[in-house]
Chains A and B, each alone.
Chain A
Amino acid sequence: MSRWEYFLRRLLLSIPVVFFGATATFVIFRFGPIDPAAAIVGEAATEASRESYERTREQLGLTQPVTDHYVEYMRDLFLLNLGESWVISPGTSTVDLITTYAPRTLWLGFWAVLIPIFVGIPLGIYAGLNANTRIDYAISMFGIVWRAMPNFWLAVILLVVLSQSGQLFGFSWPDFLVDTPVTGTPDLSALGSPSGFAAATKQILPAAVVLGSASMGSELRIARTAVLETINSGYVELAKANGVSQRSLVWKHVLRNTLVPLVPTITNEAFLLIGGSIIVEVVFGIHGIGYLFFQAAINGDLPLVTALVFVFVLVVVAMNLLQDLLYVLIDPRVGYDGR
């Protein structure tokens, strides 16, 4: 079937992409502006520090010829042998660091993707189905405002409002339902229990709302446009003229066609979350992978930075594959005459 052939092709094509991404990371590490060994050891003023600098260079593989180093480096990356952190947490393997920090970011990203999908898209679809009414104008305005507010600003404002919600509204956010602090890393160890799940969700929610805010705005706008486009299409008019029921018209003929332009929007917005999570995690004091990356970068922990960049490359490629998979599932035209 040509749809699945198409997907298989995309899958195979992602291998050179990962390869190229890994090579780019190597170039940053080896030829970038920061000497990794110098960043780890610091000023090489004394004889002892010069010695430790040389030793570090050797351990990092910087003394080998470039080609040998490259081959070894790539082999390690693809075996997920990502080395150790040197500055942030000396001696800890980066894989351990990532498995500790990543779930918090995944939890944040999960909600930051869900909120736009379950709030933004339904609102946009409703606005599109009721185009040019007051409620449509209200929803569209809401979408534009939400889209326009910058993350760092919204994060700070939300922090201020929530931490003082007791005085401002007579309703205390920290005490609401379950006791949680406004900032800090959520405890994901008790996700299985209802109270643990509630606490972890509640604590991540403000950060997730901020992180998902822009996506929500743009997904709302695109959902509205997509619905309008579909409603005015020939096949909806013909279905109507042929007496298809109103319910089938909306649920079968309009909604699925609306998804076609929405899928790339959702996945593209999810890429942005990787960048956005760095700011939001820092403001909300969540020790996630974005926070880890930020710390590693400003402290020049280049082995950790390269490992994280490689992980980000893998995530982006995986998201792209997910997008292709969704396309294949939704649209039968994919792969048809597309080669």
Chain B
Amino acid sequence: MAVTDPILSVEGLQTSFHTDKETIRAVDDVSFAVEPGRTLGIVGESGSGKSVTARSVMGLVDSPGVVHEDSRIRYHEPAFVQRMARRYPDRTRTRARTSSGPDPDAESNESDGFVTLEAFEGSGTDVVVDRGFVDLVAAPEAVVRAVRGREIAMIFQDASSSLNPLYTVGNQLEELLRTHRGLRGQEATETAAALLESVGIPDPHRRLSEYPHQFSGGMQQRAIIALALACEPSVLICDEPTTALDVTIQAQILELLAEIQADRDVAIVFITHDMGVIAQTADRVSVMYAGEIVETAPVDRLFDRPGHPYTEGLLESIPGITRRGNRLATIDGRVPTPTGDATACRFAPRCPKAFEECHAVHPSLVSVGDDGDHRAACLLQPTDEDEAGRLEYHGGESDGEVGEDRDGDSSEHHHDEGGPER
């Protein structure tokens, strides 16, 4: 586990799309956390559920998509938690943590509470919060809207379509500065120019009065980053921000994001299908496949000793890592569309190492190695057990207290609910 507390944590996130024909489980029991100043990479092929994960965190999943109500998306920024606790005292719960004694007077067990305080002083509208979180799944729409942009901002893949073509870049920047920071007139213009300058756009005052079509692709992405930074968010979700850019511009943008992270201590969730980009940016990597996280590890560990055959496949398909003259390795087939409860390994049909049980037992995340920092959902793990022992870990062919992993993290449970709820 990381030394610092996470700023954003997601546990058991499930997002499904209900259509007349079927229910597509685009995100199925995904958990991750990211700490201030750190970068979490989420990597996977197209259709693995990466973007839906990002949109779920932002509350941007539109009908017919539904974020399952048992999912937990927690935002831990103390100042924001305190603001929400003061604004919604009736929906604030307390939870004792080992370091701070529980306060029986402030205890309220509202079942519809979405603000949870873990370390605080005072109560009601005067509460001072040291540690706690806001659950964005249970929170009302107004709270989610207050989070967007101001607390968690997002950068999308296609820069050219992410700016409104009918308004100047300055207009769009100043709108955000006005909405979130109450800046107007000259002050807003100066702040907007400073923002453009900070993302490396030369001659910012002239650029403010230009329209998006007058910007090049790289400049558009810089302007979008400026928009995301306008409200000084604590978390930045980047959904393939460099995919549409050419390689030199891509390197510049990645460098810019690294600078911003160093300056502002912002947490970054970096979504991409490009293992090379992950290697450059991420501190920690989660590999997604068919709506699930199949492996998670610190970036070096993942690249050195991947624990899941899918990760191995992804690493082998990076151009340049394989020896010259050889054909680039690929993973045959496509990501399946998950429609029901997982009863088997979803990667098994494409897996070169699949054996019989892979088609009958759904693997859960288990530790690879000893420290619990590297986990993979594969029946080949943990490698120090024989096949029967491994299956027991994953909850197959046994009635014992299994399915739970050794470090006992509750986020690892494999849910057994019936169908997804409407």
**A residues bordering B, Cβ < 8 Å?**
233-246, 248, 252-253, 256-257, 260, 330-333, 336
Instruction: Please classify the interface of chain B as helix (H, G, I), strand (E, B), loop, or mixed, using the class held by over half of its residues.
Output: mixed
Which of B58, B149, B162, B163 meets A244, CB within 8 Å?
B149
Asked whether A241 and B154 contact (CB < 8 A) given A233-B161, A332-B211, A333-B213, the answer is yes
Centre residue among B146, B156, B162, B180 by max chain A CB count within 10 A: B162
User: When chains A and B are docked, how far (Å) is the Cα of A240 from the Cα of B58?
Assistant: 9
Closest to A235 in B: B164
Q: Are B166 and A243 in contact (CB under 8 A)?
A: no
User: What is the bound-complex CA distance between A234 and B227, given in angstroms?
Assistant: 14
Which A residue's beta carbon lies closest to that of B63?
A: A132
Asked if B166 contacts A241 (CB within 8 A), the reply is no
- Do A241 and B149 have beta carbons less than 8 Å apart? yes
What are the interface flags for B209-238 relative to A under an 8 Å C-beta threshold, 1 for contact and 0 otherwise? 001011000000000100110110000000
CA distance A331 to B175 in the complex (A): 19
Pairwise interchain contact A243-B227, C-beta atoms closer than 8 A: no
Q: A238–B156 contact, CB under 8 A?
A: yes
A260 CA to B165 CA, complexed, in Å: 11
List residues of chain A with CB within 8 A of the CB of B166: 256-257, 260, 330-332
Most buried by B among A252, A257, A331, A332: A332
> Which residue of A242, A248, A257 is within 8 Å of B153 (Cβ)?
A242
Chain B residues near A239 (CB, 8 Å)? Answer: 164, 172
Which 8 interchain pairs have the tightest Cβ spacing? A243-B149, A234-B161, A242-B149, A243-B148, A241-B154, A235-B164, A234-B162, A238-B162
In-complex Cβ contact of B176 among A243, A253, A330 (8 A):
A243
Query: Contact between A241 and B58 (Cβ–Cβ < 8 Å)?
Result: yes
Bound complex: CA A244 to CA B158 (Å)? 19
Some 29 contacts from A to B, beta carbons below 8 A apart, are: A234-B158, A235-B161, A235-B165, A237-B60, A238-B162, A239-B164, A241-B148, A241-B153, A241-B154, A242-B148, A242-B176, A242-B230, A243-B146, A243-B147, A243-B149, A243-B231, A244-B149, A245-B179, A246-B145, A248-B179, A252-B167, A256-B166, A257-B164, A330-B166, A332-B168, A332-B213, A333-B165, A336-B213, A336-B214
By a CB distance below 8 angstroms, the chain B residues around A257 are 164-166
A248, B149: Cα distance in complex, Å = 15
Q: For residue A245, which residues in chain B have a CB less than 8 angstroms away from its CB?
A: 179
Among A236, A240, A253, find the residue whose CB has the most chain B CB atoms closer than 10 A. Answer: A240
Kindly report which residue of chain A lies nearest to residue B210, judged by CB atoms. Answer: A332
B150 contacts the other chain (CB 8 A): yes
User: Which residues of chain B have C-beta atoms less than 8 A from A336's C-beta?
Assistant: 213-214
Chain A residues near B60 (CB-CB < 8 A): 237, 240-241
A-B contact sample (20 more), CB < 8 A, given A241-B148, A243-B148, A252-B175: A233-B161, A234-B161, A236-B164, A238-B156, A238-B227, A240-B148, A241-B153, A241-B156, A242-B154, A242-B176, A242-B228, A243-B146, A248-B179, A257-B165, A331-B165, A332-B165, A332-B211, A333-B165, A333-B213, A336-B213
Over the window 292-310 of chain B, the binary record of Cβ atoms lying under 8 Å from chain A Cβ atoms (1 yes, 0 no) is 0000000000000000000
Residues of A within 8 A of B161 (CB): 233-235
Binding site for A on B (CB under 8 A): 58, 60, 145-150, 153-154, 156, 158, 161-168, 172, 175-176, 179-180, 211, 213-214, 224, 227-228, 230-231
Q: Given the complex, which residues of A lie within 8 Å of B58, measured CB to CB?
A: 241
Closest to A233 in B: B161
Q: Closest CB of chain A to B188's CB: distance in Å?
A: 15
Min CB distance B184 to A, Å, is 15
Closest Cβ of chain B to A228, distance in Å, is 12
- Minimum C-beta distance from B150 to chain A (A): 6
Minimum C-beta distance from B230 to chain A (A): 7
Closest partner residue, chain B, to A254 (CB atom):
B164
Residue of B153, B163, B214 near A235 (CB, 8 A) is B163
Which of chain B's residues has its CB closest to A239's CB? B164
Residue in A234, A244, A332 whose beta carbon sits within 8 Å of that of B179 in the complex: A244
B227 near A242 with CB under 8 A, answer yes
- By CB atoms of chain A within 10 A, which of B60, B145, B166, B227 has the most? B166
Q: How far is the CB of A250 from chain B (nearest CB, A)?
A: 13
Residue among A241, A256, A260 facing the most chain B CB atoms (10 A cut-off): A241
A265 shortest CB reach to chain B, Å: 18
Closest partner residue, chain B, to A337 (CB atom): B213
- Minimum CB distance partner of A236 in chain B: B164
CA distance A123 to B60 in the complex (A): 26
What is the CA–CA distance of A332 and B166 in the complex, to the nearest angstrom?
6
Chain A minimum-CB-distance residue to B161: A234
Chain B min CB distance to A253 (Å): 6
Contact of B211 among A243, A330, A333 (CB under 8 A): A333
CB distance from A199 to the nearest CB of B (A): 42
* Neighbour of B154 across the interface among A233, A238, A244, A331, CB < 8 A: A238
For B176, give the chain A residue with the smallest CB separation.
A242
**Could you tell me the distance between the alpha carbons of A260 and B166 in the complex, rounded to whole angstroms?**
10
Assembled-state Cα–Cα distance A236/B148 (Å): 13
Residues of chain B within 8 A of A246, CB atoms compared: 145
Q: Which B residues lie within 8 Å of A333 (CB)? A: 165, 211, 213
Residues of A within 8 A of B147 (CB): 243
Contacts of A234 in B (CB 8 A): 156, 158, 161-162
**Which residues in B have their C-beta under 8 angstroms from that of A236?**
164
Nearest A-chain residue to B152, judged by Cβ: A241
Nearest-Cβ distance from residue B5 to partner chain A, whole angstroms: 24
Complex Cα distance, B180 from A242, in Å, reads: 10
Give the distance to chain A from B19, nearest Cβ to Cβ, in Å. Answer: 12
A243 touches B164 (CB 8 A): no
Alpha-carbon distance between A245 and B148 when the two chains are bound, in angstroms: 10
A244–B224 touching, CB < 8 Å: no
